[in-house]
């Protein structure tokens, strides 16, 4: 694995400039309303949510990414390091291989470079976990409906977390507020994950290139 040099002040300023531009673009276009979520379909069933915990063992996932808004886009490469049961670090690099920042997620605690700017354009913490097929939400008013080999579950109310499970794994998760779909993560197959924020016209596509088993990680990577 190539270890990149520390994130210098010039790169930090460049990263913040990218996020400020993206947020400006979002503020210009975000007047559109999020689409209505529609009704949960299927036959009501009494069953537990499938077990989606991270499997044992340290892993590094190498992927490419592409971020788009209506008037802004960026792309590059990235790596996610996973330490079960609840630790995740994501490092992003631009096309010129300069660092585009990092995300550290431990349980439900998120730390990010240029945190105030970046957090506003990132998925909420439960949806970051959903990119890995992991469900980390709880709440009252849980409803489950079965439609063939598809299970749909709603947890909580305003926000409501709606999940769609295929035969073997989580396929989709969305955050619904006021009856509208605010954030969506779709795991379309084993190599492609799509995050969308419809009202802002934002999307982030991750294409997984390979998964590598690791013996462990230096404890320093979990410190910002």
pTM of the model: 0.82
Per-residue model confidence (pLDDT) at position 118: 53
Q: 165-174 long-range CB contacts below 8 Å, 24 or more apart?
A: 165/49, 165/50, 169/50, 169/52, 169/133, 170/50, 170/52, 170/130, 170/133, 170/134, 170/135, 173/126, 173/127, 173/130, 173/135, 174/37
| pLDDT attached to residue 26 | 45
What per-residue confidence (pLDDT) applies to 4?
Answer: 36
Dihedral Cα 172, 33, 35, 20, nearest 10 deg: -20
- Pairing mode of beta strands 143-147, 43-44: antiparallel
Q: What is the pLDDT of residue 114?
A: 52
**What pLDDT, on a 0 to 100 scale, did the predictor assign at position 216?**
96
pLDDT for 16: 47
Instruction: Dig out the tokens for 164 from the structure.
Output: 């769609």
How high is the pLDDT of residue 121? 60
Residues of the chain with pLDDT under 70: 1-32, 113-121
Cβ atoms 35, 181 nearer than 8 A: yes
Cis link prior to 178 (omega < 30° from 0)? no
Quick one: 59 exposed, middle or buried, by C-beta within 10 A (0-12, 13-18, 19+)? middle
Domains of the chain: 11-216 (2.50.20)
């Amino acid at each position: 694995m190539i270890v990149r040099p520390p994130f210098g002040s010039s790169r930090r300023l460049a990263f913040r400039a990218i996020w400020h531009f993206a947020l400006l673009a979002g503020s210009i276009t975000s007047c559109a309303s999020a689409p209505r979520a529609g009704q949960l379909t299927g036959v009501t069933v009494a069953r537990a949510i499938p077990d989606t915990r991270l499997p044992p063992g340290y892993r590094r996932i190498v992927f490419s990414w592409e971020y788009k808004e209506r008037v802004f886009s960026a792309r590059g490469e990235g790596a996610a390091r996973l330490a079960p049961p609840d630790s995740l670090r994501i490092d992003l690099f631009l096309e010129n291989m300069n660092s585009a920042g990092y995300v550290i997620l431990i349980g439900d605690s998120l730390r990010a470079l240029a945190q105030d700017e970046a957090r506003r354009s990132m998925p909420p913490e439960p949806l970051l976990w959903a990119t890995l097929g992991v469900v980390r939400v709880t709440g009252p008013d849980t409803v489950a409906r079965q439609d063939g080999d598809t299970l749909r579950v709603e947890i909580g109310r305003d926000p409501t977390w709606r999940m769609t499970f295929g035969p073997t794994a989580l396929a989709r998760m969305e955050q619904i507020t006021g009856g509208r779909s605010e954030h969506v993560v779709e795991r379309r197959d084993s190599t492609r994950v799509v995050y969308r924020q419809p009202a802002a016209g934002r999307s982030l596509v991750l294409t997984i290139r390979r998964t590598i088993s690791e013996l462990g990680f230096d404890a320093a990577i979990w410190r910002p």
